[in-house]
Amino acid sequence: MAKITMRQAISQALWEEMERDPMVFILGQEVGVWGGTYAVTKGFYDHFGPERVRDTPIAEAAIIGSAIGAAMTGTRPVAELMTINFAFSAMDHIVNEAAKLHYMFNGQMVLPMVIRTVGGGGRQLGATHSQTPDAIFAHFPGLKVIAPGTPADAKGLLKAAIRSNDPILFIEHSTLYQVRGDVPDGDYIVPIGKSTVQRPGEHVTIVTYSKMLELSMKAADELAKEGIEVEIVDLRTLRPLDIDPVIESIKKTNRGVIVEEGWKSFGVGSEISSRIYELAFDYIDAPIIRVAQKEVPLPYNQTLEQLALPQIDDIIKAVKEVL
């Protein structure tokens, strides 16, 4: 087991799967000669060649449309969108074709395709390039949505996604690429659709995923100094959603805080809190609190951007309030 960055873990997963299965190929803007916007596919073009590492025009609809066609004919494309904000340009392909073709044609075809993309704020990229629209895509049956928060999960879940016969949106947070963590060597797989307890505790349950896992863990470290032990459940996959570990944790702690980077209105936290109330109402001793981004387009100014995004102090405040 090595301690590597999330960038390295994702790159490792892609490389291993391309070596394992010649039907896996990559396509997207700057993935080849340039090595990827975030250097994830650096060196891939020289090793695997232009047939399996394909640079495309700046045309997201063409990238996803091509991936759908390739998947239908037996290959396993990994299509990269430079940012999830550009997925809106391919929305019809993603939610009306990729998510539905298997169902609409009565299972006569499968779509083993992965859409890798980058989400989240914190890099001063402005309101149109810093969004966290995860809940929008998780709304559609037929499309699996994965958003890992650790390097190990990033590797294991990406390998599982590439081997899956379903269309999968794989969301990588833009500020997590340099985060380091222990990652098992070799053929390491994490099952899709399984939430996990990242930190055990007894006083409050925090439910979170992706970048907000990192902040929640740091908040839990600070709260532990005051004798408050927080249990953290990492969703990892938004669709299919594994709510059982969340419910079991709530039954133990009787209190919950949900932390997400997206906007609170109609978001992931809304869905989680609704399910908690539906499935564990008798165990709840205080109203669930949601921590989320301020309801504004994310500012470009660094100070204002950080004010709009959830912070460690926001999580600490919420935990103390629910207690």
Active site residue 129: yes
Residues 11 and 187: their CA atoms lie apart, in Å, by 14
Query: What is the full DSSP assignment across 274-293?
Result: HHHHHHHGGG-SS--EEEEE
Other CB atoms closer than 10 Å to residue 178's CB: what's the count?
Answer: 9
Active-site residue identified among 60, 80, 172, 231: 60
Q: Let me know: does 238 contact 210? Beta carbons within 8 Å.
A: no
**Four-residue CA torsion sign, 5, 6, 11, 12:** positive
Residue 169 token pair: 């949106």
Beta-ladder partners of 233: 197, 207
CA dihedral 50, 55, 56, 58 (to 10 degrees): -170
243, 267 Cβ separation under 8 angstroms: no
On whether the CB atoms of residues 13 and 40 are closer than 8 A, the answer is no
SS3 content of the chain, % helix, strand, coil (to 5): 40, 20, 40
Alpha-carbon span 20 to 6, nearest angstrom? 21
Distance between CA atoms of 18 and 24, rounded to whole angstroms? 5
Cα separation, 57 vs 59, whole angstroms? 5
For residue 100, the SS3 value is coil
- Catalytic pick among 129, 172, 173, 305: 129
Residues with a known catalytic role: 60, 129
